[in-house]
Amino acid sequence: MSARESLERQLLLGFVLPILAVVVVAVFSLSAFQAARQSAQTVTHTHEVIHHIQTLQTLEQQVLLTQTAAARAAFNQTWTRVFTLVQDNPPQQRRLQSWRDHLFLTALPRSVTGPLPDNVRLAQLLIATEDALLERRQAQVQQRVTWARWSIVIGLPLSAVLGATLAVLMLRRVRRLTVPLLAATTRVQAGSVSVFR
C-alpha cells in the first residue's frame, strides 16, 4: 500500500469515525427520548383511568340515591370510557364488569347502603392496581430519560475526543509527509538545484 493510499484511508477514517459516533449518539438519544415520551403518555393514561374510577364512585352514589335513568346513563358512559381505557388489562376489565353488574343487577332493588361496601372495595382495588402500574410506568420514564441523558453526556464528549485525537494523528502524518517536500522547496527557492540530500 502506498503512502498516498494509506493517508487517504486515514483521512477517510478520521472524518467517518467522529461522524459515525455522533450519529450513533443521536440515534440512541432520540430513541431513548421517544421511549420516555411514550412512557410519559402511559403515565398520563393511568392518571386518566384513576380519575375516571373516582368519578365512577361518585356516579355510583348518585345512581343509588336518585335511581334515575340520567344517573345510570352518566355512570354507564363513564364506565364505558374506563373499560375502554383498560382494554389492555383484562383483570381490571373483569373488576369493572363486576362493579357494574353488582350495581345494576343486584343493588338497585335493595337499599342504598347495600352495594357500597363491596363496590368500594372493588374501586379501591382498581385504584390500587392503577397506582402500582403508575409507579412502574413512572420508574420506566425516569430510567429512559436517565439513559438518554447519559448517552448525550458521555457520547458527545467521547465523539469530540475521538475526532480531536484522529485529527491530531492525521496532522502528524501529513506533516511527516510534507516536511521533506517543504525542505526541498526551500532549497530550490534558495537556488540549490539538487533536491535530494
- Can you tell me the distance from the alpha carbon of 9 to that of 15, in angstroms, rounded to the nearest whole number? 10
More confident residue, 191 or 135: 135
- Can you tell me the distance from the alpha carbon of 147 to that of 152, in angstroms, rounded to the nearest whole number? 9
Are 169 and 6 in contact, with CB atoms under 8 Å apart? no
For the cut 80, the answer to whether the pLDDT of residue 61 exceeds it is yes
**Spacing of C-alpha 36 from chain mean position:** 2
- Sign of dihedral through CA atoms 117, 119, 122, 126? negative
All cell numbers assigned to 132: 402500582
Domain ranges of the chain: 3-185
- Mean pLDDT of the region 8-25: 77
For the cut 70, the answer to whether the pLDDT of residue 60 exceeds it is yes
All cell numbers assigned to 93: 376489565
- Can you tell me the distance from the alpha carbon of 100 to that of 119, in angstroms, rounded to the nearest whole number? 9
pLDDT in tens, 66-83: 888 999 999 999 999 999
All cell numbers assigned to 32: 431513548
All cell numbers assigned to 138: 413512572
pLDDT in tens, 98-150: 888 888 876 555 555 555 656 778 888 888 888 888 888 888 878 878 887 88
pLDDT of residue 170: 77
Of residues 72, 98, 71, 70, the one with CA closest to residue 83:
98
All cell numbers assigned to 40: 410519559
